[in-house]
């Protein structure tokens, strides 16, 4: 199996192209200061992951900006502090401020020459618009949790994407799903027989950060430590 075997790259966005861990941690600092807490960055991210995944399962149709505000309320309760509704809403609206990884825009611009580029993301449409500005490409399709009415790892999200791509003429064997999260993306993608590329952004860190631990047996076909690493591999394939 080679990268050049595929015609469509479907991407998770947050954690893969957008550095959501830095964005989340920065946006949570005011709440941590109010609570008088100084946990490690990974401890903060792991607590966020616990509440975010639970809220997504409980309210699958809630728009992501509202869901983040609800997660902020849950975190304030766990950390035994009180802030204003405006503070909760500000966290919910923080997605457009989350930075892109330094290699994302250039990698996408390169890959756009060879593939259709598609987003499948646990986000709302308005929040993604802000992130898209940081990524510097026009995606060929964007499928959000708001469009689908559920959040990954729900299989419905992958079924929706595959059905819509099939209508555009893209067969499953032409698609490579590209993502950081083994929990949100690779485990459900493999249920549908999709080829997968793991962008292992946390390769030099322990734990799972802002995602829940993956289920046993989560699999992938390629592993890259960055989007730049993926581009380098593609370029090497073309030279052969």
Query: Minimal CA–CA distance to 144: which of 156, 78, 193?
Result: 156
Give, rounded to a whole angstrom, the gap between the first and last alpha carbons of the chain. Answer: 14
Question: Which two structure tokens, joined as six digits, stand for 172?
Answer: 């499953």
Let me know: does 186 contact 211? Beta carbons within 8 Å: no
Scored b (16 or more CB within 10 A) or e, 113-135 reads eebbbbbbbbbbeebbebbbebb
Q: Which residues are catalytic?
A: 12
Question: Which two structure tokens, joined as six digits, stand for 225?
Answer: 């430590």
């Amino acid at each position: 199996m080679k990268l050049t075997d595929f015609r469509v790259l479907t991407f998770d966005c947050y954690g893969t192209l957008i550095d959501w861990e830095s964005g989340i941690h920065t946006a949570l600092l005011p709440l941590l200061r109010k609570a008088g807490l100084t946990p490690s960055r990974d401890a903060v991210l792991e607590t966020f992951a616990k509440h975010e995944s639970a809220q997504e399962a409980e309210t699958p149709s809630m728009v992501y900006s509202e869901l983040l505000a609800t997660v902020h309320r849950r975190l304030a309760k766990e950390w035994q502090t009180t802030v204003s509704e405006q503070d909760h809403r500000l966290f919910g609206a923080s997605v457009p401020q989350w930075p892109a990884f330094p290699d994302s825009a250039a990698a996408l611009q390169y890959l756009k020459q060879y593939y259709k580029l598609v987003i499948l993301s646990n986000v709302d449409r308005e929040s993604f618009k802000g992130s898209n500005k940081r990524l510097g490409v026009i995606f060929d399709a964007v499928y959000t949790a708001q469009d689908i009415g559920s959040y990954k790892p729900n299989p419905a999200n992958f079924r929706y994407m595959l059905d819509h791509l099939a209508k555009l003429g893209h067969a499953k064997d032409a698609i490579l799903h590209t993502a950081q999260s083994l929990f949100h993306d690779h485990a459900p993608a493999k249920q549908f027989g999709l080829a997968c590329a793991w962008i292992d952004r946390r390769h030099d860190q322990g734990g799972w950060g802002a995602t829940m631990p993956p289920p046993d047996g989560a699999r992938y076909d390629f592993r890259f430590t960055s989007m730049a690493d993926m581009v380098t591999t593609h370029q090497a394939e073309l030279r052969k």
